Structure formats: structure tokens, C-alpha cells
Amino acid sequence: LLEHNIHLPRFHRDVPSRFAVIPRRGDTSQVMWFEADPTYVLHFPNAYEDGDEIVVDGFFQGDPEPTEGVDNGMSRKWQQVFRSLSLDGMQTRL
């Protein structure tokens, strides 16, 4: 898919999340990386400093992909389409 410039985002529950803090005025040697529990976040609308901490607001999805093996008469493709429209199904929270 990548050779055709098609990107298919997937959630890997066994891979930790990685976040980079990039200095506003600095160089690449000052980038700091942090790891966290595996997380799928659709969008980070905001980040800010609060004292010595960085607070990141994100649109977290507890279950971003349809459950495997569900047979409701729809193909996997359509299960994914409709699942992406179901905010409660993806267990979303800020």
C-alpha cells in the first residue's frame, strides 16, 4: 500500500506510544522522546505547559477497530466504516 501512497493507520496494542517534545526554537539535538502505554489517539487538539509538566489533550479511542470475528452480515470493510461513525463503540473520551 505504501508504494501507492496509501496509508492505513492501525492500532498495535503491543507497541508503546511514543511522543516527541520539540523545542519551539532549537535544533534536533534538543528533541525529547517519551514512551507511554499503547494508546490510539485520533487527534491532539491542544498541548500546554503547567509548571514543570506538559499537558496534552487528545481524542482517545479505547477500541478504534471493530472486534474481530463479529458476524453481523456486513463485510469487514463496512464494519470498519460504521464503527468509525460510532463514538460510543470506539470508547472515546477526552
Identify the pLDDT of residue 66. Answer: 56
Identify the pLDDT of residue 27. Answer: 92
Q: Report pTM.
A: 0.58
Identify the pLDDT of residue 11. Answer: 81
3-state secondary structure of 73: coil
> In angstroms, rounded to a whole number, what is the distance separating the alpha carbons of residues 56 and 22?
13
Stretches in the chain below the pLDDT threshold 70: 1-2, 65-74, 76, 80, 82-94
Provide, for the chain, the percentages of residues in helix, strand and coil under a 3-state DSSP scheme, each rounded to the nearest 5: 15, 25, 55
